Structure 1
Amino acid sequence: MTPRGFPAFPPGRARRPRTWWGTAWNRAWEADALDARPLRAGRRLAAAGHVGAITVSPGRLAAAVHDGDTEQAYATRVRVATLADDDWDRLAGEVAARAGHQAALLAGQLPRDLAEVTGVPLLPGLGEVAPECDCPEWDHPCRHAAALCHQVSWLLDTDPALLLLVRGRDARTLVPTAAHHDDVPAPATATVRAAEAGTAAAEAYARTVAPLPPPPAPVPGAPTLPLLPPGPDVDVDALRAAVAVAAGRAAALLKRP
């Protein structure tokens, strides 16, 4: 299985995972912590953008993490126990028997009851997450490993298949390739496969960001909307335009015979 690489997150606000599996991942590795202080320090490093490009591979997470000086970055790794072949067989059998589980995985969702029905622990348990770092700290985990684990929860939010990868298998082990690609035209299929394989961090970082498409035009006859109050980090004009388009389309649908 090919490791997947992800470019470094830019500095920003401290964030919590939004999905149940991202939250469960944080609970899993934090359960082994001996002290809460490195966890908080790691959260600050993650928010400050001090974690480099992240590589996710079976049983291993890796990144260079620094304390503010990029010339003094530490090689940080987190070893994660992989699942046994029997566990993967049980998961694959359950997914094959339930179309809903296949649909959820294809949609980038991780069914909560998949682990409950099969008894296979998708999330690592106590002692199954082993942080490693060449920094001089003795904490377990150190703040650098904690920062890496925090950012991995952000990646998991958008791609739970990474949890399956770090536990030992590609997501296609559970969802047959045919289920992914049978109805996809050949050029699009290549694009999907390339996306699933991941992109080298340096290549992704060097790419030019494509411009956003123009916003949809308002629907004629859309209802008049009330003024929207301003809020922090909210583009009121853009929000109002989006609401107007949605309201107009809804009104047009209601008028259909």
Structure 2
Amino acid sequence: MTRRRYNSQFFPQSSPLAVQGGVKARSARGAIGTSWWSGRFIEVLEGIGVGSRLARGKNYARRGQVMSLKVDAGTVTASVQGSRSKPYRVRIGLAAFGKSEWASVEESLANNAWYVASLLAGEMPDDIEEVFTSVGLSLFPRGANELSMDCSCPDWEVPCKHLAAVFYLLAEQFDEDPFRILAWRGRERDDLLGRLREADAGSGHDSRAGAALTDVLDAFFESPAALPLRPGTRGSALLVDQLPEVDLTVRSHPLAEVLRPVYTALRESGPEM
């Protein structure tokens, strides 16, 4: 809930005390964050009325007034140095998903080889939000009622500049490591990747997915399984249609469906494929 700022002659404007070794923002000017996930986070905050006040925290974040910042399941805690000698305690809460909810997310991820390969390679898929939506969850907060914000400062307005500074740095940390978004929702990077590796190993997918290139270089171009042609499909059939069905999707689309337009174009422009 947003409160009216407390303006009084008893609380004159003051400058924050200097901090040595604080958590300092990387960007000196311009927009907050550079990646789609930090941009998505800021977009959500702007939609619920927080983003319009983030500018007040930019100066604090860029000066290094945030002394510490920690992301845990359901909670972001920080210490921010203001004008008083004692730093302010900041807390931003967002409900972490339970075991059954994460089980649904992980099952959906494990069923798509594209997501598994991307995550095991340390990359966050651009459309990972759709996975959460498909199981009735939201990766990012959908409204102000899903966020709890608290600061020990005397400012009556929520969020204050200390909270805004933490939001600003949080967006930058999402740029540095997008897995922190998932950690905030209750699943640490190592735990998630470990579960996906187990699911991938049990699914019969190629075990080379996500492995270091140097470890599989000698067999990188070898097919993990024989690919016999379907009988009776030679002649006018495209090569992609002569292959056996492969349990592999690219962003929820069957692999053959994705490749078929390419083979069709090649056949029309040259010798029959």
TM-score, normalised with respect to structure 2:
0.57
Map of 2:80 onto structure 1? 65
Asked if 1:128 is matched to 2:142, the reply is no
Asked if 1:39 is matched to 2:57, the reply is no
Asked if 1:24 is matched to 2:24, the reply is no
The answer as to whether partners of 1:51 and 1:66 remain within 8 angstroms in 2 is yes
**What number of residue pairs does the alignment pair up?**
176
CA shift for structure 1 position 30: 3.7
Most deviating of 137-146 and 8-17:
8-17
Q: Which has the larger radius of gyration?
A: 2
CA shift for structure 1 position 70: 7.6
CA shift for structure 1 position 144: 0.5
1:63-102 CA distances to partner (integer Å, 9 max, x unpaired)? Answer: 11123x5834211111112124333122101221122212
1:49 to 61, 64, 69: 64
1:200-247 CA distances to partner (integer Å, 9 max, x unpaired)? Answer: xxxxxxxxxxxxxxxxxxxxxxxxxxxxxxxxxxxxxxxxxxxxxxxx
In 2, the alpha carbon distance for the partners of 1:73 and 1:81 equals 26
The answer as to whether partners of 2:132 and 2:139 remain within 8 angstroms in 1 is no
User: Which secondary structure state, in structure 2, belongs to the residue aligned with residue 88 of structure 1?
Assistant: helix
In 2, the alpha carbon distance for the partners of 1:175 and 1:11 equals 28
Within 5 Å, give how 1:77-88 maps onto structure 2: 77-88=91-102
Map of 2:107 onto structure 1? 93
Within 5 Å, give how 1:175-254 maps onto structure 2: 175-176=193-194, 179=197
Counterpart amino acid of residue 77 in structure 2: A
CA shift for structure 1 position 165: 0.7
Map of 2:172 onto structure 1? 154
**Residue ranges of structure 2 left out of the alignment (5+ in a row):** 1-21, 199-206, 213-273
Map of 1:144 onto structure 2? 162
The answer as to whether partners of 1:60 and 1:77 remain within 8 angstroms in 2 is yes
In 1, the alpha carbon distance for the partners of 2:60 and 2:51 equals 17
CA shift for structure 1 position 12: 5.6
Relative to structure 1, the CA distance from residue 179 to residue 155 in structure 2 (aligned partners, 3 Å threshold; closer, same or farther) is same
TM-score, normalised with respect to structure 1:
0.60
1:21-49 CA distances to partner (integer Å, 9 max, x unpaired)? Answer: 1111122234333683x421112211221
In 2, the alpha carbon distance for the partners of 1:44 and 1:88 equals 37
Map of 1:102 onto structure 2? 116
The answer as to whether partners of 1:60 and 1:78 remain within 8 angstroms in 2 is yes
Aligned-residue sequence identity (percent) comes to 27
The answer as to whether partners of 1:96 and 1:175 remain within 8 angstroms in 2 is no
In 2, the alpha carbon distance for the partners of 1:114 and 1:154 equals 19
Q: Comparing both structures, which one devotes a greater share of its residues to helix?
A: 1
CA shift for structure 1 position 18: 1.0
In 2, the alpha carbon distance for the partners of 1:43 and 1:109 equals 28
Relative to structure 1, the CA distance from residue 33 to residue 142 in structure 2 (aligned partners, 3 Å threshold; closer, same or farther) is farther
Counterpart amino acid of residue 97 in structure 1: N
Deviating 4+ runs (over 6 angstroms): none
